């Protein structure tokens, strides 16, 4: 196993300039503190060794300043090594200046906080562990600070060690949670933006359609003339008259569509653009590769009239995602119920899987919810549910999550019937 595998690091996402700037701040702070304590307060300690440790950091930063012209970002492996160096360098300075009794020993918390912000869990754990080990060493071994002969009680040193260790663990965990939430939210909104971008691209296709309408007008006119000639030649022959009339009607339909595109680039063929809601659900379900060991049932017996819905990207994408999740988590059966009563259009997506945990129903749809909380199965739905919920709410829907009578999850989606129109 390589060192890189031990750290579990693959991503290249850390700006080298960020690490350099943080180290310059540390260098200035260390140099100022060492000089202030030695020359102003006249504390005697191994000054030259301290300055040598600081000089090494200066040299490293100078080298990295030249390196950033060639490498803009560091992968997590090299970032981990860089932070480990800073931790060891700080610990060496503390070793020369009172160890854990030095008030600046609290700075050992900083490397772990930085690590959990940028690095993988494994790398952050390694840095936190090294920090605790170094603190343990500094509790027993260090150059005592000059001054009155004050012997600190052992339990006081243990208390310092415990407080700093707890600080490392607590702040590290807190920083990790905040960073993970931010990254998850960013990912969710990026995915949502991509979905909406695809929607805008579909709308922009109307302009292309207008150009196509202009180009197709001439060949369509030629086809019309040919059909008229055929009609004259065939006369009232009942064998071909129906076919000729069908051709005429379809040609006229094409002309009407092209005319609409010419006047309004964003207008689409209503035959293509609109569909009954129950047929839309069937279309989405049939678009999947049906698993052999699972059954998808569509119950549209409670539909009282044929509601027509525009082929909105938000509805199609969201319903497809939610139905896909149900198919993934179901054991054998998925039941999709459609109902429109009390001037409401309602769809229920049921499955017989393990369902949602009872304690997180109120949090479902939030972008930062952990995947292992959503289902007893560790496969996650967090971002998918968030994106789907957001898109459906844009269309006027309300979404709730319940326990299904089948034993698994139930996703209930309700619209006001007035946003659709009846056929």
Instruction: For residue range 236-271, list pLDDT tens digits in order.
Output: 777 777 777 778 777 777 777 666 655 554 444 444
d(CA 381, CA 372): 9
Q: What is the CA radius of gyration of the chain?
A: 34
What is the Cα–Cα distance from 90 to 29, expressed in whole angstroms? 11
CATH architecture of 274-422: 2-Layer Sandwich (3.30)
Q: What is the mean pLDDT of residues 114-129?
A: 88
First to last CA, the chain: 66
Please state, in angstroms and rounded to a whole number, the distance separating the CA atoms of residues 8 and 124: 11
When mean pLDDT is compared across 80-89, 189-198, 326-335, the lowest value belongs to 189-198
Q: Which ranges of 119-153 does DSSP label H, i.e. alpha helix?
A: 121-140
Percent of the chain with pLDDT over 90: 24
Separation of alpha carbons 243 and 246, rounded Å: 5
Q: How many CB atoms lie within 10 A of CB 69?
A: 8
CATH number (3.30.70, 1.10.3470, 2.60.120, 1.10.287) of 192-268 reads 1.10.287
Distance CA 286, CA 315 (A): 16
Provide the phi-psi class of 209: left if phi over 0, else alpha when psi is between -120 and 50, else beta: alpha
Model pLDDT for residues 69-116, shown as the tens digit of each residue: 888 888 888 899 999 999 999 999 999 998 998 889 999 999 988 888
Rounded to whole angstroms, the Cα distance separating 389 from 188 reads 12
**H or E element: which one contains 92?**
helix 76-96
CA-CA-CA-CA torsion sign (169, 170, 171, 177): positive
pTM for the predicted model, two decimal places: 0.51
Helix axes 76-96, 16-35, angle to 10 degrees: 0
Place 148 in a pLDDT band, splitting at 50, 70 and 90: low
Sign of the four-CA dihedral 139, 141, 146, 151:
positive
Give the start-to-end residue ranges of the domains of the chain. Answer: 3-151, 192-268, 274-422
Instruction: Decide whether 192-268 matches 274-422 in CATH topology.
Output: no
């Amino acid at each position: 196993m390589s060192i890189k595998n031990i750290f579990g690091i693959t991503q290249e996402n850390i700006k080298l300039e960020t690490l350099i700037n943080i180290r310059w701040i540390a260098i200035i702070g260390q140099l100022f503190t060492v000089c202030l304590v030695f020359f102003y307060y006249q504390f005697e300690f191994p000054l030259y060794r301290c300055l040598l440790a600081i000089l090494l950091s200066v040299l490293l930063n100078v080298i990295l300043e030249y390196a950033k012209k060639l490498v803009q970002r560091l992968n997590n492996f090299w970032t981990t090594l860089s932070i480990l160096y800073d931790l060891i360098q700080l610990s060496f300075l503390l070793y020369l200046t009172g160890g854990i009794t030095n008030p600046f020993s609290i700075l050992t918390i900083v490397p772990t906080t930085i690590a959990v912000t940028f690095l993988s869990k494994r790398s952050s754990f390694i840095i936190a562990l090294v920090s605790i080990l170094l603190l343990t060493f500094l509790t027993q071994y260090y150059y005592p600070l000059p001054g009155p002969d004050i012997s600190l009680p052992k339990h006081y040193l243990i208390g310092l060690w415990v407080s700093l260790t707890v600080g490392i663990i607590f702040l590290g965990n807190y920083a990790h949670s905040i960073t993970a939430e931010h990254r998850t939210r960013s990912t969710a909104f990026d995915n949502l933006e991509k979905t909406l971008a695809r929607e805008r691209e579909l709308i922009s296709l109307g302009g292309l359609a207008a150009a196509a309408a202009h180009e197709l007008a001439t060949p369509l006119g030629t086809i019309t003339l040919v059909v008229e000639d055929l009609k004259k030649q065939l006369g009232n022959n009942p064998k071909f008259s129906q076919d000729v009339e069908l051709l005429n009607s379809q040609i006229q339909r094409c002309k009407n569509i092209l005319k609409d595109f010419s006047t309004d680039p964003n207008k689409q063929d209503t035959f293509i653009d609109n569909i009954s809601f129950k047929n839309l659900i069937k279309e989405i379900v049939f678009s999947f590769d049906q698993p052999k060991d699972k059954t998808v049932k569509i119950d549209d017996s409670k539909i009282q009239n044929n509601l027509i819905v525009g082929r909105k990207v938000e509805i199609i994408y969201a319903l497809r995602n939610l139905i896909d999740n149900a198919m993934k988590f179901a054991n054998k059966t998925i039941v999709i119920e459609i109902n429109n009563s009390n001037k409401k259009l309602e769809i229920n997506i049921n499955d017989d899987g393990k369902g949602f945990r009872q304690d997180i129903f109120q949090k479902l749809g939030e972008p930062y919810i952990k995947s292992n909380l959503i289902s007893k199965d560790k496969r996650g739905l967090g971002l998918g549910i968030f994106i789907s919920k957001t898109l459906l709410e844009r269309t006027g829907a309300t979404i709730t999550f319940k326990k299904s009578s089948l034993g698994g999850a139930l996703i209930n989606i309700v619209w006001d019937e007035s946003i659709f129109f009846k056929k």
